[in-house]
Structure 1
């Protein structure tokens, strides 16, 4: 596919190791092939993990990332590797959730982005973290994230 929007991708189609940290993870993007249409892209990561920065114990979340692309789409394998890099990263739930959203906004410059971080209980209390860049664009279907309030979630 020489001359395609996929030419610059380095991670797709081959063996790639998990990055040592979120900062070391390389996100990749491709040109939006439908830039004249406003539409929503959803990524769901129901097995997201990170570490408590105080105890080193694992934390688990169900992440839902919705965005309305501008000129760019995130390449899904690079996003998977980026999210996987949090597995050995110590940060509070709020920091993980917002850091992911901010990096994607900076990298993709989407028309709109929101993230829902639905964290499993720590100390008996689930912590859910929500953020979005502003009001959603008009005339774009943005479905509910579909994650129930915690009561044996998942």
Structure 2
């Protein structure tokens, strides 16, 4: 097999086991083959974690936008990383910001933002937003488009 930018990937194309924790999860990356700034969006509408106090499941719609630098995150490894939060007890704010910070540290993107749109528990929805820097100019970055929680309307 010829060497490509994808040759070092270990999880893609093979059987994998869901990591038991976000710390165990292995993120993988590939070289960004493009030399122009552009936005990449990942949407995880069924993200789950656990309440650290009750162990009850918490649900969120996550939107991750980033402008790559030298690296792209491999999407299967991202899926496994996000899935590892199913067994992880942390408040909404901690889950959302921890995901963003791990991606920024690993990828060193030009820019990254995350929107964590959490479904209500105890009658209060919690939305968590963070970005690594000012939004870059010259790149089309669409609105995340997730409406605020309205209940039964």
Would you say same fold, with TM above 0.5?
A: yes
Q: Give the match's secondary structure for 1:21.
A: coil
Residues 50-59 or 131-140, more deviating? 131-140
Alignment of 1:1-154 (within 5 A): 1-34=1-34, 36-152=35-151
CA distance in 2 between counterparts of 1:80 and 1:148 reads: 24
Structure 1 residues not aligned, in runs of 5+ = none
Structure 1 position 90, deviation (Å): 0.1
Please, what TM-score do these two structures have when normalized by structure 2? 0.97
Alignment RMSD: 1.0
Query: TM-score w.r.t. structure 1 length?
Result: 0.97
Q: State the alpha-carbon separation in 2 of the partners of residues 2 and 51 from structure 1.
A: 43
Q: Unpaired segments of 5 or more residues in structure 2? A: none
C-alpha distance in 1 between matches for 2:123 and 2:39: 34
Aligned structure 1 segments of 4 or more residues deviating by more than 3 angstroms: none
Residue deviations 1:95-127 (CA, integer Å, cap 9, x gap)? 000000000000000000000000000100000
> Structure 2: how far apart are the matches of 1:11 and 1:152?
39
